[in-house]
Amino acid sequence: MSVKIKEISNVELVLSDSNLTNQIIEDIKNGEVYILRNAFESVFISQLKQYLTGVGRNSLPNYSAIYNNAPNGHLINIWDPRSTVGACFHQFNFYPWNFDIFDLFERTKMIYKLKNVISGKKQGQYMDKFPEDNFTRRLAFQFYPSGIGGLKKHADPVGEHQLVVPTMNLTTKGIDFSSGGAYIELSGKKIYTDEIAPPGDVLFFNAQMPHGVDVIDEGKQPDWYSFNGRWMLLFALNSLDLNSMNSKAKQIG
């Protein structure tokens, strides 16, 4: 069985036509993949990578749990055994209550509206600057360095809050890296998303479908500082870490 790939050509139509939306939901539940082509321009993507590379090279990682008013920050995971899913990447997290020079949550709001309606929610849900029903939007940029970067096969939580977790490639296979890359697994077969969605395209697929990232340029000598490898963006919706919130409240009090 091969994955069926369809395109979203008119965002406003999807947001306004419930029959079309219901068809997309049914398709995605059945394992089909939708792609929104050219959602973001190459100049914007290049500026983002340049900015994040500067942050990664010139500041110490400062991991923070997800809680209301958590700071933007970045972290490095090198196959940490404490992780729920085995991974090796440099991740940069942004939250809607913090300012950033790109005004990222304004520029990505249409993607989150699409995520909402495809997940069976109202398009305006979770769109406030602050958490709603214990959930918040999070933009997670992930860099997988050549020679070592990857993500073990897994499935993401699907529930009342989401059916899909949109992703966008920020690099090109064959130019920025040669082998490995993100994939979706269907009937035991891997479909490499880097080969069907160039930078700027946003993918929508059932988050319960097994997926991961095969090691980028396996066998190369890793060089984290060079930032040679694969970049992607995850349009996430996460629950707050209540333990961290309670801890912060105690500190403030």
pLDDT at position 218, please?
97
Query: How many angstroms separate the Cα of 39 from the Cα of each of 76, 160, 177, 229?
Result: 28, 26, 22, 22
pLDDT at position 157, please?
78
pLDDT at position 163, please?
94
pLDDT at position 160, please?
76
Cβ-Cβ contacts under 8 Å for 68 (sequence gap 6 or more): 97, 130, 131, 136, 240, 245
CB distance 90 to 56 below 8 Å: yes
Best CA proximity match to 128, nearest among 96, 102, 98? 96
Architecture of the 5-252 domain: Sandwich (2.60)
Tell me how long the chain is: 253
Q: Where along the chain do its domains lie?
A: 5-252
pLDDT at position 187, please?
83
pLDDT at position 245, please?
46
Query: How many angstroms separate the Cα of 190 from the Cα of each of 58, 87, 110, 181, 209?
Result: 37, 18, 29, 11, 11
User: In terms of C-beta density within 10 A (0-12 exposed, 13-18 middle, 19 or more buried), how is residue 53 classed?
Assistant: middle
Structure-block tokens of residue 47: 């500026």
| Mean pLDDT, contiguous 10-residue spans, the chain (253 residues) | 84 95 96 96 98 98 94 97 94 98 97 96 95 96 98 88 94 98 92 95 96 97 97 96 53 32
Pairing assessment for the beta strands 33-36 and 5-8 based on DSSP bridges: parallel
